[in-house]
Structure 1
């Protein structure tokens, strides 16, 4: 029996950036009618391989064939013309346009030289129906959830008659129901013969939807496997390059120190703090040496609460007491002066500066606190850079590499190191492990536990409730932009307890 022809075959792909060997002779195959997951730690080369396939990056060496035809893509348009479409984690559509306009953008039906709007809406409805989306094509895209926007992006790929669909972290901001809907669409497309390349850090999702896996590590190919032949623990072992025995130690959850902390003076005490249209007035006390988790669904107000604590948004009610001094923070600069640091979930828009080096990004907050007239001494800079590159496992360990050339997970580590360099009393972490691989996630969890053990106060926000439960001493539960409950996280506290509080709004 003749083996099927790959939809995509990449052979010997190598790509090098200044100071970074991103890919080194990597092979990859993707067949029609399959979901193939690309696995690896942050910095393994997954994003670089995808960008090589989709024409964003050129290859220093190697060959790409699509359905048997050699290709040399000089840009994404050529990749699309060859039948390859990509849907990124951050949907790249025009939110101010209608759903129909986004779907048909660049392929609008015309009559007499003008756009035929009726035909455009009719055709877009057809593509929406193929994905089970019953929404008004005239509605503005921004009025829909991220999950619907991603399905609209997939509908656009169908307009382009995509034979290869690349989904790069499409589920990172979706809830369980939205993930199920996306997977249903993926199975429908797979059964039609579309070749789907899937990237996700959620192992449960990978094993639910995938037919085969390719594992990368440090820019090299580890292997290609069927899902059945590679159990989860073996997969993680191959991703991080450690034995199963070492993995057992890595996966041990940080132990929460449940000693009473109420005797210590609070770092921060919020009373009736709120902002109209953002988050309802809330009370929250944060003590030294404890982790307070914020639990809730997307849109519940977790980030809004954190931004008020940091002064990034201005409260219009209540009072904030910092180290015994009442008042309100006038902004982030004032918060930094009081020993408060905030690591945003939007690391690209509000965090790292891509055109600066790792070194420059790591000392950025410390330099801002000192003022630009008083430069951080070179020796102190070297100490900080060496300390946090080593402590956080930033890869590549090249302080002069541009941050934009690092993987998302390593960018997150740089951002975390930047704030730790300021030695804050309170560290607010908003989704610090989103899009981070298993090994790096465990490292960050251990770091958070250690920071608390050393006396730092930490506010920890994560969409993964298991993570909040594992790390927190207390948990503040958010729903509909209100703090609805607060519980001490005792050994008997279960995930079901937190879920029920979220579902009931704190009422019995």
Structure 2
């Protein structure tokens, strides 16, 4: 279906892709794997028309093609679901899906037909939402499903999925895999990029490994194992860091008692109901739940982001805090690494140094001016401590890989010397080596006495690094399980709403 011949792409003289050759077959799922910065997204942007300037050739159904834009690629039969969501926040779901592909009747927009088609797509994806809902009001996982719906609308012959499951629940992943199997039966070619290697063995027919812009190997998934793929990706053996046993001290650091969070959009409805738990020094509390369980809302409520709608008691080191904003939460020793690092965690246009220093401006103020030497010193400390890979402290945050961006977000909060670190999906969309570095950092921090609450939709991650697991379902705590007793089965059983 699609052939890539001798593709190379350079940015400022640096090779992002170096002489890539590969084939994408009809009726098959081809997995593209590699660490962040390996060249996966650059290659996909070439194939989908985002980048028109490159060396080499692309053949579609045996014919030479050169795409001038993503729309041109779509018209030729190639659609892409981007990892970085490509939606307009203040347009509705319907308007986003049909943007640039509007249906018309009698010289105007056929809004009824577009709405009905959107309902059909959402039903196919098992997303129970009103098509008129604004995208800004959707959770990240729901937005990801809307991106998938956009691609399905085009009826393309080649569908590229860049981290399509990075923010969706297990149930939504199951639905996606059913759709991919349908596409395979329709003789479509699916290109699938994911850092979740277990997914690839469930859904992919072929694999292609990229490393440092070069094609390392390709073949059939049935001929390799997980460790083989990891070794080819990183060029060496990687052992995942695991929390071998609970090392929490018997000292309560954080106590949350009878926490409620009202739904600001629906009177009388609660997003969190009667939440009570504690966090010990040196402990990692893993929080698991399905989409809509209230995981993100819990961290936001603790961090003081919804003071008007939150009630209950929060105590740090035995002292009760009734803070009315995130500023007060920071002063109390809390730090929140948000789920969407690009939207809520970074200023993408600023450099590494400015992003790391942004939380501690007051500490570097001398006679009303910022002391740049102190700022540079702070940045270089965390670049070294967290192994942040950038050309210099002046490189813009938006140009770095996902793993390095996440380290910057963590670094800026560590600069505040927190007692409690709230991590919302800390490894979403980053490669296995970067994940391992984040896990190691978490264990190092708890070894220094920090308490960590980690929200994750990946059960293997929850089981790997947590000392204890708290399960949420429909805004309620349904289980608190010691890691020695935690299994995927008992966690999922507690996470599934009783109404299902």
| TM-score normalised according to structure 1 size | 0.85
Q: 1: distance between equivalents of 2:488 and 2:97?
A: 40
Match of 1:206 among 200, 203, 209: 200
Residue in 2 that maps onto 1:471: 465
Structure 1 residues 109-118 or 475-484, which shifts more?
109-118
Aligned equivalents of 2:415 and 2:141: distance in 1?
37
| Partner of residue 386, structure 1 | 380
Report whether the alignment pairs 1:299 with 2:288: no
1:427 CA drift (Å): 0.9
Kept in 1, the 8 Å contact 2:284–2:451? The answer is: yes
Contact kept, 8 Å, 1:430 with 1:462, in 2: the verdict is: yes
**C-alpha separation between the residues in 1 aligned to 2:387 and 2:219?**
28
After superposition, the Cα gap between the structure-2 partners of 1:25 and 1:141, relative to the gap in structure 1 and judged at 3 Å, is farther
Alpha carbons of structure 1 residues 299 and 119: separation in structure 2 relative to 1, 3 Å: closer
Distance 1:251 1:485 in 2: 27
Cα gap change, 1:415/1:316 in structure 2, threshold over 3 Å: closer, same or farther? closer
Question: Matches of 2:476 and 2:173 in 1, distance apart?
Answer: 25
SS at match of 2:359: helix
Tell me if the contact between 1:289 and 1:457 (Cα under 8 Å) persists in the aligned partners: yes
Match 1:495 to one of 483, 488, 500: 488
Deviates more, 1:461-470 or 1:319-328: 319-328
Q: What is residue 3 of structure 1 aligned with on the other side?
A: none
Q: Do 1:98 and 1:137's aligned partners in 2 also have CA atoms closer than 8 Å?
A: no
Partners of 1:89 and 1:171 within 8 A in 2: no
Q: How many matched pairs?
A: 488
Question: More displaced, 9-18 or 144-153?
Answer: 144-153
- 1:175 corresponds to 2:164: no
- Please name the residue that 2:242 is paired with: 253
SS in 1 for 2:330: helix
1:12 maps to 2:7: yes
Secondary structure of the residue aligned to 1:365 is: coil
Decide which of 410, 417, 433 is 1:416's aligned counterpart. 410
Q: For residues 66-215 of structure 1, what are the structure 2 equivalents within 5 Å?
A: 66-89=60-83, 92-93=86-87, 104-116=98-110, 128=121, 132=124, 139-140=131-132, 153-154=147-148, 156-157=150-151, 159-215=153-209
CA distance in 2, matches of 1:476, 1:452: 18
Cα–Cα, structure 1 residues 444 and 128, in superposed 2: closer, same or farther, change >3 Å?
closer
Map 1:358-437; keep pairs closer than 5 Å. Answer: 358-367=352-361, 377-437=371-431
In structure 2, the residue corresponding to 1:222 is in which secondary structure? strand
Question: Which stretch of structure 1 is more off in the superposition, 296-305 or 221-230?
Answer: 221-230
Q: Secondary structure at the match of 1:415?
A: helix
**1:26–1:495: structure 2 CA closer, same or farther, 3 Å change rule?**
same
Shift of 1:450: 1.4
Higher mean displacement: 229-238 or 152-161:
152-161
Equivalent of 2:476 in 458, 477, 482:
482
Q: Which residue in 2 is equivalent to 1:270?
A: 256
**C-alpha distance in structure 2 between counterparts of 1:194 and 1:459, whole Å:** 42
For 2:195 and 2:339, how far apart are their aligned partners in 1? 16
**Partners of 1:154 and 1:73 in 2: CA distance:** 22
Task: Report how far residue 454 of structure 1 moved.
Answer: 1.2
3-state SS in 1 of match to 2:427: coil
Give the RMSD, CA atoms, in angstroms.
Answer: 3.3
Q: CA deviation at 1:191?
A: 2.6
Cα deviation code 1:402-439 (max 9, x no counterpart) = 11112222211221122222221111111101112111
Residue of structure 2 aligned with 1:316, choices 310, 313, 319: 310
Query: Conserved in 2, the CA contact under 8 Å of 1:306 and 1:428?
Result: yes
Do 1:477 and 1:486's aligned partners in 2 also have CA atoms closer than 8 Å?
A: yes
Which stretch of the first structure deviates more once superposed, 204-213 or 131-140?
131-140
The aligned residue for residue 274 of structure 2 is 281
Give the conservation status (yes or no) of the 8 Å contact 1:23–1:49: yes
Q: Which moved more, 1:460-469 or 1:494-503?
A: 494-503
Asked if the contact 1:47–1:407 (Cα under 8 Å) also holds between the matched residues in 2, the reply is no
Aligned partner of residue 86 in structure 1, secondary structure: strand
For residues 285-338 of structure 1, what are the alpha-carbon distances to aligned partners after superposition, in whole Å with 9 as ceiling and x for unaligned? 223222222122221112111112211221532222234432312222222222
State the alpha-carbon separation in 2 of the partners of residues 435 and 276 from structure 1: 31
Quote the Cα distance in structure 2 between the aligned partners of 1:152 and 1:346. Answer: 16
Select between 380-389 and 416-425 the one with higher mean Cα deviation: 380-389
Q: Secondary structure at the match of 1:267?
A: strand
Q: Deviations over 1:157-213 (max 9, x none)?
A: 455342211111112233333222212221222232322111111112111111211
- Give the deviation of 1:462 after TM superposition: 0.8
CA shift digits 1:234-293 (9 cap, x unpaired): 1001111114xxx3xx2252333435x23x3x4332222322123223223223222222
Q: Does 1:341 align with 2:335?
A: yes
- Report the CA distance shift for 1:91/1:414 in structure 2 as closer, same or farther (over 3 A): closer
Alignment partners' CA distance in 2, 1:388 and 1:494: 35
Give the secondary-structure state (helix, strand or coil) at the position aligned to 2:426.
coil
Q: Is the 8 A contact 2:473 2:494 kept in 1?
A: no
C-alpha spacing 1:67/1:372, structure 2 compared with 1 (3 Å): farther
Distance 1:297 1:359 in 2: 36
- The alignment status of 1:37 with 2:26, answered yes or no, reads no
Contact 1:212 1:226 in 2 (8 A): yes
Instruction: Please identify, of 63-72 and 166-175, the stretch whose mean Cα deviation from structure 2 is larger.
Output: 63-72
CA contact 2:125–2:175 (8 Å) conserved in 1? no
Whether the 8 Å contact between 2:364 and 2:374 is mirrored in structure 1 is no
How far off its partner does 1:132 sit? 4.9
